[in-house]
Amino acid sequence: MVSKAQHCRSEVYLSGLGWTPIDPADVRKVMLEEPPGHLDMTNDKVAAARKTLFGAWEGNWIPYNAAQDVRLPGWEASIPFLMYPHGEIGGQKLDDLDPDAFRYTITAREIVA
Q: Is the pTM of this model over 0.75?
A: no
pLDDT of residue 89: 84
Give burial (CB, 10 Å; 0-12/13-18/19+) of 90: exposed
- Half-sphere exposure in the Cβ direction for 19 (13 Å, CA): 4
pLDDT in tens, the chain (113 residues): 455 555 667 788 989 989 888 877 788 888 988 999 899 999 999 999 888 888 777 666 666 666 667 777 777 777 776 667 778 888 788 888 787 888 877 777 888 87
pLDDT of residue 61: 66
pLDDT of residue 5: 57
Distances (CA, A) of 37 to 31, 34, 43, 46, 81: 6, 5, 11, 11, 30
Query: Is-contact 22 11, C-beta < 8 A?
Result: yes
pLDDT of residue 1: 44
